[in-house]
Amino acid sequence: METFEKEEIEKKIEEIIEPFLKEEGYILVDINWKGRGRKGKIEIFVDSPSGITVKDTKKLAEEISELLYLKSIPLDYILEVSSPGLDRVLRKKREFEWAKGKHVRVVCNEGKEETGTLVDVNDNKITLEREDNLIYINFSEIKKTQLTEWDKNGKF
């Protein structure tokens, strides 16, 4: 990690915290390093089947901070742990995996929009279900994908 590349930092943090989060019943949605060199901000987005509260994120921030300290992460950082949010834009495959079963809006490169329930994700494409029809969209065709509505339990 001497070069402090964004992807390396995020991967190292993921290796440290994902097993802990799984054990605690949480889902790692995304990690984002915003920084230069050794200084910056670590954003960690988590969810759980029962949803996330402010109390959860506060507790997780303390525990994750301790984990990173114990693993001697060579960074000077601010740590932020939060839920994915209402207006979450999906960018990484991990986020699409997390969003399976949720209703999304996909804006394609040519401007066409598709909405439906995200039912499958693979390395090349996503599959939406709408009114018993399946819609296949290649990742290369996607300009933006975003969650669109709450479920009956008040969660995305």
Predicted confidence (pLDDT) at residue 38 exceeds the cutoff of 90: no
Q: Report the CATH superfamily, name and number, of domain 6-82.
A: RimP-like superfamily, N-terminal (3.30.300.70)
pTM for the structure as a whole:
0.75
The string of pLDDT tens digits covering residues 51-88 is 889 999 999 999 999 999 988 888 889 999 999 887 78
Fold held by 89-147: SH3 type barrels. (2.30.30)
pLDDT value for 110: 87
The domains of the chain are located at 6-82, 89-147
Q: What is the pLDDT of residue 2?
A: 45
Q: Which residues of 3-22 are buried (b: 16+ CB within 10 A; e: fewer)?
A: ebeeeebbebbbeebeeebe
The 3-state DSSP class for residue 94 equals: helix
Task: Determine the pLDDT at residue 150.
Answer: 53
- The predicted-structure confidence for 87-141, as pLDDT tens digits, reads as follows 788 988 888 999 999 999 999 998 899 999 999 999 999 999 999 899 999 999 9
